[in-house]
Structures are given as C-alpha cells and as structure tokens.
C-alpha cells in the first residue's frame, strides 16, 4: 500500500549532486510534486532534518567510499520502507570508480603523509551494502525519470524500470545512425534509453551514461565497433565509465 502523502528523503554520498539538482530543476512540476510528497530530509531541498523519522521513500545519490558512509547507509536502510538508488554513482559506482587503477597514487597526492590514516575504499554501488528497491538511471537522470517515478507512485503503482536501448529512441526520431553510417563509437545499442537520444540527435555518440540494458550484447557491439577508430581496450574503458567496470 503506497501512502497518499509520501514522506521522502534524499541522501547524498560521493557524487557531484547533479542528480538532486535535476530533481530540483523540475521547476514546472515541483508545486504538483509538493502536494504528493512531504520532504522530511534533503540537504539541497529543505533545511529540516530528521534523525529518527521513518521514510516511506529514501532516494540515495552517490557511491559509498568509506566505512563511515557504509554504516550511515545501513542505518538509513533500517528507517526506510523503500530505498531508491539514483544515478550512475549510486547504481554502479559511476565515474568515481575510475579511480581504481590509480587510487593509491591519488590518495597520496591529495592527502600527503596522512593518506594512510584516511579510511576510504574504492567507490562502491549502494546495492553492495543494502537492499535496493528501485533504480533511477542516468548521470544525471532526466527530469522525466523523476516525474515518471513519482507519477506512478501517486497513481498507486510501483514504477517500472526502463530497459529499451537508446537506439530505439534514435530510430523513432529517424536520426542518422552515427555508428553504422559515420563509424563513430556510439554506445546506444547497449545503453538504457529515456534520454530521447539527446546526444546522437546532436551528432555526438552515446557515452553510455544511463547504464546498460539487461540484455546488453557487448560481443555484437564490439563487432559493430570494428569500423570505428576505437581499439578494444579503449572500448572496454568507455563501457566501464558508467558501468563500474564489472565483467567488461
Ligand atoms: S550520477 Fe552523475 S550526476 Fe549523479 S551524482 Fe554521480 S556524477 Fe553527479
Ligand atoms: S546513433 Fe547510436 S543510438 Fe542512434 S541508432 Fe546509431 S548506434 Fe543507436
């Protein structure tokens, strides 16, 4: 049973806050949204905080990078009915995980002689520590991702997850295929749609910021990429940028 007035919170871990900003930028719809939700804790939305109140819904932005963040997240999970991972950082570690090969050097560079005392680990997806009930993809997500999500909830149904690739939207808009016709390295065939193929529409190959569709066929993508300038290792790195680098 989904309550009419949802008590929601937005919590931020390691990330640029772009996901929260996109929610706030739904300017035309915020007044309507405010009638459906009671935002009890969100650093960029309200100065109110609640340390005990339970949440109906907690939106989690950012990746987890330290034992203290891990504990904080686990405590929050006990207080919320539903937890939603928002954006690439929360879903896969996102671009933060690009630190992996150079992590030690980077820590020393930033923290100097006290680097050893800083308790951090390589950025991890939220799902590595707590159960996640729903995901909103993107880096950052689109306005429509948030509005569809809350729209479904306010109608009393649980939001569905998009799983069709960017290519579907590209074809629907009858755009020129940058991969097949121009041999540009476009990740649209394996990337979750929902952006209306914004980048291909501007002549820019998809970078894969919305994460991978569940049936992503990387072998076929490699085959399609054969005519582009990307080497296999560069393609691998490009896919890793928003997928957290697992199993590529
Ligand atoms: S997913 Fe992208 S927009 Fe959202 S916090 Fe991470 S880097 Fe920023
Ligand atoms: S341009 Fe990219 S997203 Fe569009 S159809 Fe071609 S491969 Fe797919």
CA 191 to ligand 2: nearest atom:
3
Last residue in a domain, options 154, 175, 201: 154
Judge if the beta carbon of residue 179 lies within 6 A of ligand 1.
no
Please check whether residue 16 lies inside any domain of the structure: yes
CA dihedral 82, 67, 208, 98 (to 10 degrees): 180
The reported pTM is 0.90
Residues 85 and 150 in one domain: yes
Residues 194 and 236 in one domain: yes
Q: What is the pLDDT of residues 72-127, one digit of tens each?
A: 999 999 999 999 999 999 999 988 887 666 777 888 888 888 988 888 888 999 99
CA 91 to ligand 1: nearest atom:
1
**Spatial CA neighbour of 124 closest among 60, 190, 57, 58:** 60
Residues 21 and 137 in one domain: yes
Ligand 1 center from residue 18 Cα (angstroms): 5
Last residue in a domain, options 154, 185, 214: 154
Q: Whose CA is nearest to atom 5 of ligand 1?
A: 15
> How far is residue 167 from each of residues 28, 112, 196, measured CA to CA in Å?
29, 46, 9
Residues 213 and 178 in one domain: yes
pLDDT bucket at 245, cuts 50 / 70 / 90:
low
Query: Could you list the residue range(s) of the whole structural domain that residue 183 is in?
Result: 166-243
Ligand 1 center from residue 70 Cα (angstroms): 18
Q: Whose CA is nearest to atom 8 of ligand 2?
A: 167
Ligand 1 center from residue 21 Cα (angstroms): 10
Residue 80, domain CATH: 3.40.50.700
pLDDT bucket at 10, cuts 50 / 70 / 90:
very high
Residues 74 and 186 in one domain: no
Please check whether residue 159 lies inside any domain of the structure: no
Q: Whose CA is nearest to atom 5 of ligand 2?
A: 167
How many residues would you count in the chain?
A: 248
Six token digits for residue 42: 């969100």
Residues 25 and 104 in one domain: yes
Q: Whose CA is nearest to atom 6 of ligand 2?
A: 177
Place of tokens 């923290």: 111
Q: What's the angle, vertex CA 126, arms to CA 190 and CA 46, rounded to 5?
A: 110
Residues 188 and 231 in one domain: yes
Ligand 1 center from residue 140 Cα (angstroms): 5
Residues 30 and 100 in one domain: yes
Please check whether residue 108 lies inside any domain of the structure: yes
Please check whether residue 161 lies inside any domain of the structure: no
Please check whether residue 160 lies inside any domain of the structure: no
Residues 105 and 131 in one domain: yes
Residues 87 and 28 in one domain: yes
Q: What is the pLDDT of residues 198-234, one digit of tens each?
A: 999 999 999 999 999 999 998 899 888 988 988 888 8
**Spatial CA neighbour of 29 closest among 198, 156, 146:** 146
Please check whether residue 187 lies inside any domain of the structure: yes
Q: Where are the alpha helices (DSSP H) in 25-142?
A: 27-36, 67-79, 87-92, 103-111
Residues 107 and 36 in one domain: yes
Last residue in a domain, options 108, 132, 154: 154
Ligand 2 center from residue 206 Cα (angstroms): 7
Residues 178 and 219 in one domain: yes
> How many domains does the structure of the chain reveal?
2
Please check whether residue 1 lies inside any domain of the structure: no
Judge if the beta carbon of residue 188 lies within 6 A of ligand 2.
yes
SS3 track for 120-179: CCCCECHHHCCCCCEEECCCCCCHHHHHHHHHHHHCCCCCCCCCCEHHHHHHHCCCCCCC
Judge if the beta carbon of residue 200 lies within 6 A of ligand 2.
yes
Q: What is the largest CA-CA distance in the chain?
A: 57
């Amino acid at each position: 049973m989904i309550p009419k007035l949802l008590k929601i919170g937005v919590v931020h871990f390691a990330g640029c806050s772009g996901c929260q900003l996109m929610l706030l930028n739904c300017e035309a719809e915020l007044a309507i949204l405010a009638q459906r939700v009671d935002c009890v804790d969100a650093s960029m939305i309200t100065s109110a905080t609640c340390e005990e109140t339970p949440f109906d819904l907690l939106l989690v932005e950012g990746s987890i990078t330290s034992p203290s963040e891990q504990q904080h997240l686990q405590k929050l999970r006990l207080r919320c009915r539903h937890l939603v991972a928002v954006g690439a950082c929360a879903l896969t570690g996102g671009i933060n995980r690009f630190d992996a090969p150079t992590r030690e050097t980077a820590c020393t560079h930033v923290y100097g002689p006290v680097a050893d005392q800083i308790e951090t680990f390589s950025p991890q997806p939220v799902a590595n520590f707590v159960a996640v009930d729903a995901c909103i993809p993107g880096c950052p997500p689109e306005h429509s991702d948030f509005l569809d999500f809350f729209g479904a909830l306010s109608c009393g149904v649980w939001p569905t997850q998009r799983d069709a690739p960017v290519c579907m939207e590209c074809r629907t808009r009858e755009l020129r295929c940058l991969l097949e016709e121009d041999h540009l390295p476009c990740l649209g065939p394996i990337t979750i749609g929902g952006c209306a193929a914004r980048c291909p529409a501007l002549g820019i190959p998809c970078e894969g910021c919305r994460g991978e569709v569940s049936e992503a066929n990387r072998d076929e993508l490699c085959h399609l990429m054969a005519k582009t300038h990307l080497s296999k290792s560069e393609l691998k790195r490009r896919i890793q940028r928003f997928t957290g680098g697992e199993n590529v």
